[in-house]
Amino acid sequence: MKDLQNSLDLRLAQLQALPKMKDGSIMDALKSHGFSRRDFMKWAGSMTALLALPASLAPSVAKAAEMADRLPVIWLHMAECTGCSESLLRSDAPTIDSLIFDYISLEYHETVMAASGWQAEENLEGAIEKYKGQYVLMVEGGIPAGQNAFYLSIGPEGKTGEAHAKHAAEHAAAIFAIGTCSSFGGIQAAAPNPTGAMPLHKVTNKPVINVPGCPPSEKNIVGNVLHYLLFGTLPALDSYNRPKWAYGHRIHDLCERRGHFDAGEFVETFGDEGAKKGYCLYKVGCKGPYTFNNCSQERFNSHTSWPIQAGHGCIGCSEPNFWDNMGPFEEPLGDRLYKSVFGGLGSDAVADKIGIGVLALTGVAIAAHAVIASAKKAEE
């Protein structure tokens, strides 16, 4: 723990020595939107927990966030719907997460920048050259590549998205694929994939951190920036290059309806009595047992709800090729061939079988309890 704190102190000192890129401070920005220092520290504490760091490091997380303007960020848009950017920008009121992202030195982002055409192209090239080897690259969207690259042309020179992505990735200090489209190809890469769309990691040979979701939560996006600020290194990853702190558990593991699954209590059709009682949604298509994400913790709509709470099952949007593998979305996978992480064991088994097994075990336990109780009464 002491060694970790010392390494963080050293990293923060290095950040402190870098020039500020914006006027004012993050606290000024927060106060102007009604957030107090106390609110900020509570947010820092929650981010510390989210990143699976000891609670004692919350002050270091707060200090890193206050120096977020030392980190230049270039955000590229490929073939996508801009939903991942909207996850950060389109809230009913500014959140601390969105304000932190505003405070970051965002050098290029087509959705929020005023420039267009030649001026936008000049800004992008200028940022890449000025901060070569220092900037964080975030890419949103699948990328038509190879002989299909012409399906996505960007800017006044008509460069392909593939060319832009390769050029920006070549000089980046860290690269994040934001959203399922950039991480795994998304709907653009779904069969028959006429544009030849592919994920970011297939067009560059540099390490890419995948932050999937359709869209990912704002905390999963900002959390990765904070992690890089804190450590200057990439986080621990799973087999699909997703940060373990955000994608280390299945939806099923932390689902509020998990108890009903274990008890064999399922919604059979939308709107039935089971649905009214909040039963498990597996039989109406929930892909929670196959999907790794922290949606149940972070939620959406200002952290008020998420699809399962609202009554619809998880569709598996943070998994590779989910458009092809997880559909139809309102039918259970059941015995259909699907290469899951656990190969059909545990929570990947068919819900009917698990439910029946659990209920059988419960019946045995109740019978055993009755026998023991009767024996004790007889002894008395």
Q: Is 334 contained in some domain?
A: yes
Task: Please tell me whether residues 273 and 129 are part of one structural domain.
Answer: no
- Based on its alpha-carbon atoms, the radius of gyration of the chain, rounded to whole angstroms, reads 24
Nearest to 269 by CA among 317, 314, 316, 312: 312
pLDDT in tens, 82-108: 999 888 776 556 788 878 777 888 888
Q: What is the mean pLDDT of residues 46-68?
A: 91
**Residue bearing tokens 């779904």:** 190
Confidence category of residue 378, pLDDT binned at 50, 70, 90: low
For 289-335, the pLDDT digits (tens) are 889 999 998 888 778 899 999 999 999 999 999 999 888 899 888 75
Same domain, 53 and 101: yes
Q: How many domains does the chain have?
A: 2
Q: Which of 219, 245, 271 is the last residue of a domain?
A: 245
- Overall average pLDDT of the 55-75 stretch: 90
Question: Residue 302: left (phi > 0), alpha (psi -120 to 50), or beta?
Answer: left
Q: Average pLDDT, whole number, for the chain?
A: 85
**Same domain, yes or no: 13 and 109:** yes
Residue 262 sits in a domain whose CATH number is 4.10.480.10
How far apart, in Å, are the Cα atoms of 108 and each of 79, 157, 215, 240? 17, 17, 20, 27
Distances (CA, A) of 13 to 53, 60, 70: 19, 11, 12
Distances from the Cα of 296 to the Cαs of 76, 217, 303, 315, 341, in angstroms? 29, 11, 10, 14, 20
Per-residue pLDDT at 346: 46
Parent domain of 40: 2-245
Q: Are 94 and 233 within one domain? A: yes
Which residues, other chains included, contact 315 with Cβ-Cβ below 8 Å and sequence gap of 6+? 285, 287, 307, 322, 326, 329
Classify residue 367: in a domain, yes or no. no
**Contact criterion met (CB below 8 Å) for 78 and 152:** yes
376 within some domain? no
Q: Give me the pLDDT at residue 92, please.
A: 57
The CATH number linked to 175 is 3.40.50.700
Residue 338 has pLDDT above 80, yes or no: no
The model's pTM: 0.84
pLDDT tens-digit series, residues 194-231: 999 999 999 999 999 999 999 998 889 888 888 998 88
Tell me, yes or no, whether 266 and 300 share the same domain.
Answer: yes
Query: Could you tell me which of 213, 268, 206 has the C-alpha nearest to residue 243?
Result: 213
Is residue 289 a part of any domain in this protein? yes
Q: Is residue 152 part of a domain?
A: yes
pLDDT, mean of residues 26-31 = 88
* pLDDT tens, residue by residue, 346-356: 444 544 455 44
Domain boundary among 196, 217, 245: 245
* 173 shares a domain with 93: yes
* Degrees, nearest 5: CA angle 254-257-263: 110
- Residue 372 forms part of a structural domain: no
Is residue 192 located within the same domain as residue 283?
no
| Model pLDDT, residue 86 | 85
Residues 32 and 175 in one domain: yes
β-pairing verdict for 72-77 and 105-109: parallel
**CB contact at 8 A, 159 and 77:** no
263 in the same domain as 207: no
Q: Say whether both 282 and 226 belong to one domain.
A: no
Of 245, 272, 288, which residue sits at a domain end?
245
| Residue 362, domain member (yes or no) | no
Q: Is the pLDDT of residue 126 over 60?
A: yes
The answer as to whether 371 is a domain residue is no
Q: Does residue 96 sit in the same domain as residue 234? A: yes
Are 218 and 132 contained in the same domain?
yes
